[in-house]
Structure 1
Amino acid sequence: MKAIVQDRYGSPDVLKLMDVPKPTAADNEVLVRVHAAAVNAYDWHVMRGDPYLMRVMSPAWFGLTGPKRRIRGRDFAGRVEAVGKAVTQWRPGDEVYGDLGDANGAFAEHVSVPAGLVDLKPANLTFEQAAAVPLAGGTALAGLREVQAGHHVLINGASGGVGTFAVQIAKSLGADVTAVCGKRNIDLVESLGADHVIDYTQEDVTSAGRHYDVVFDLVGNHSLARLRGMLEPTGTLVLSGGGVSRGGSMFGPMGLIIRGKIMSRFVRHRMVVLTVTPGKEPLTALRRLIEAGEVTPAIDRTYPLHRTPDAIRYLEEEHARAKVVITV
């Protein structure tokens, strides 16, 4: 089968379209014919081995000179082609979507995945739309679990992959949503339901004097003190910045996250360093929101499989808005 393979860390130029053996489904796995996959900030972090701290903290996945999983990609949507002998909930022909997590492998014609990491594809989405959902939508869902009806929520990075889902999910929960983005993306976040939009090129949101029940930071471009300064006394700060590529770094967005973990023990505000575990539960929750018309994936561009390096380059240089999808 064809797949996007990487043998060493580096720029998108290290990614190559190659013929590799087609996987088979283990007893508890399903073999999926991939129709679409999505690009996430996670993909370029793994591709570059950046920040360098990841290579030390996650030796099961990151080698010193290259990732231990050769095929990139987490999010996928496609049709079940075969099932392992212990799998009873899926049959060949089922249309599914999912997030492979650290296992990677979605930028390929086929992927074998544990049966518990997939769910039915939302019936009202194309494969391309469905592939855009799992990691970004799951991150938004997890980051907003503190939100209640009537809360004032600020989303810093509202026009990105996670941010476009976060705006819609927060609105579905009954929140008043303030979205922070650049001028060219104002129309996009307004169309997704944002009640207020702040153009970060014209206004420093941390100096505006407004306060929020939840601040969901997806950028990492402000200090913890400034982010906390926007919170109500009982407010929650959620940190989940993926960042963009600015060359090799030791800590990258993890620097702010590490400081947040330490400071959370000593301040009155609730500070959440977001971790997202792939699984069927968030996929099912997202599917229900999507099929109910509460959430719709926003896609910036699609690329064919052989142009995956161009897709990641587009994403990591901060040109992308919403999601970038690979068709297979």
Structure 2
Amino acid sequence: MKAISQRTLGGPDVLETVEVDIPRPGPAEVLVRVAATSVNAADRKLRSGAIDKLGPPPFTLGLDVSGVVAAVGRQVTRFRPGDAVFGMVLSRAGAYAEYTVTPADFLAAKPAGIDHVHAAALPSAALTAWQALAEVRPGQRVLVHAAAGGVGHLAVQIAKGRGAFVIGTARAANHEFLRGLGIDEPIDYSTTDFTGVLTGMDVVLDLVGGDYTARSLTVLHPGGRLIDAQGERPLADPRYHRHHVAPSSRELRELADAVERGRLRVEVQRVMPLDEAAEAHKLGEAGRVRGKIVLVPWAEV
């Protein structure tokens, strides 16, 4: 089968198409024929070596998958060949490929009513927002940084669904898009310093990092929570919480239900073939993506 691999850490151009064997599922794993995957910030960090979770190259990126079950391990009872599924892949044989394997507990049935392209944009981004905002309560004030991005636009909807008053930082060009998702107050970060106009926030979800992390503490009330999904500079403050996404079939089913009920929608800005993965990474690094970039296998183009 074809896959996107890399022989060294580095920039987007280290990504290349290779031929590898189709992986075999272990006892508790599922072999998925990939219909679509998506580009995440974590993919780019793994590629460059900014985070080291896969060990040394060569490896195949791809945290998200939507596709069709091709085979199951002997312990798997929830899925069978032909089932449409979506979920996460956390291994050196990721979803930038024609086939991938992942534990059955990392998958759920694909949401009805959306295609594989949109389903592939959901798992890691939606789970990040779902889990990070799990303690949000009605009436709380929630600030989402990078609100129009892959995680951010889902976080806006999830926070609103939990009854929060939601504020988000985003370019002015994305404000109407965010209003369509239910945001209460968009802030143009290019013209307005959020620290000068906000105070008393209950929750801040930091999807930017850098100096945004420390600056976000200044707008929290004393009992507030800063949830850092970037983790570049952990802070010694009791209000600071580092968030790591965790695969969960149960929460994927909850997200699928929200999608099917029309309470959550995912924005896909662009669909590209897997052999353009390097270009997709470059677009993501430019920081102007609304929602997600989705990659489809060669046979799907």
**TM-score, scaled relative to structure 2:** 0.94
Equivalent residue number for residue 125 of structure 2: 136
Equivalent residue number for residue 161 of structure 2: 172
- Unaligned segments of structure 1, at least 5 residues: 242-252
Alignment of 1:281-320 (within 5 A): 281-320=250-289
SS of residue matched to 1:101:
coil
SS of residue matched to 1:149:
coil
1:72, 1:106 within 8 Å by CA — same for their partners in 2? yes
Give 2:144's aligned amino acid: I
Equivalent residue number for residue 117 of structure 1: 106
- C-alpha change, 1:308 and 1:225, in structure 2 (3 Å) is closer
SS of residue matched to 2:224:
strand
- The offset of 1:223, in angstroms, is 5.2
2 CA distance for matches of 1:191 and 1:221? 29
1 CA distance for matches of 2:213 and 2:287? 23
SS of residue matched to 2:251:
helix
How many residue pairs end up in the alignment? 297
- The offset of 1:14, in angstroms, is 0.8
- The offset of 1:211, in angstroms, is 2.3
Deviation sequence 1:125-166 (CA, Å, 0-9, x none): 110000000100010011101200111111011011110110
2 CA distance for matches of 1:215 and 1:273? 12
1:206, 1:230 within 8 Å by CA — same for their partners in 2? yes
Equivalent residue number for residue 55 of structure 2: 62
- C-alpha change, 1:10 and 1:62, in structure 2 (3 Å) is same
2 CA distance for matches of 1:181 and 1:83? 43
2:4, 2:60 within 8 Å by CA — same for their partners in 1? yes
Are 2:4 and 1:4 aligned?
yes
2 CA distance for matches of 1:306 and 1:203? 39
2 CA distance for matches of 1:179 and 1:326? 27
2 CA distance for matches of 1:291 and 1:142? 19
Question: Deviating runs (4+, > 4 A) in structure 1?
Answer: none
1 CA distance for matches of 2:96 and 2:219? 40
Equivalent residue number for residue 321 of structure 1: 290
1:9, 1:49 within 8 Å by CA — same for their partners in 2? yes
Equivalent residue number for residue 151 of structure 2: 162
Deviation sequence 1:84-120 (CA, Å, 0-9, x none): 1221111111000011124451010001111111100
1:75, 1:99 within 8 Å by CA — same for their partners in 2? yes
SS of residue matched to 1:161:
coil
2 CA distance for matches of 1:37 and 1:209? 37
2 CA distance for matches of 1:86 and 1:186? 48
- The offset of 1:222, in angstroms, is 3.0
Equivalent residue number for residue 238 of structure 1: 227
2:206, 2:213 within 8 Å by CA — same for their partners in 1? no
Which one is further off, 220-229 or 282-291? 220-229
SS of residue matched to 2:151:
helix
SS of residue matched to 1:10:
coil
- The offset of 1:228, in angstroms, is 1.5
Give 1:148's aligned amino acid: R
2:30, 2:103 within 8 Å by CA — same for their partners in 1? yes
Q: Percent identity?
A: 38
1:146, 1:214 within 8 Å by CA — same for their partners in 2? no
1 CA distance for matches of 2:122 and 2:27? 27
Question: What CA RMSD, in Å, does the superposition of the two structures yield over aligned residues?
Answer: 1.5
2 CA distance for matches of 1:229 and 1:132? 33
Of residues 191, 198, 202 in structure 2, which corresponds to 1:202? 191
1 CA distance for matches of 2:295 and 2:141? 35
2 CA distance for matches of 1:319 and 1:74? 21
- C-alpha change, 1:187 and 1:204, in structure 2 (3 Å) is same
Equivalent residue number for residue 182 of structure 1: 171
Equivalent residue number for residue 216 of structure 2: 227
- The offset of 1:319, in angstroms, is 2.6
1 CA distance for matches of 2:210 and 2:219? 14
Give 1:89's aligned amino acid: R
Equivalent residue number for residue 25 of structure 1: 25
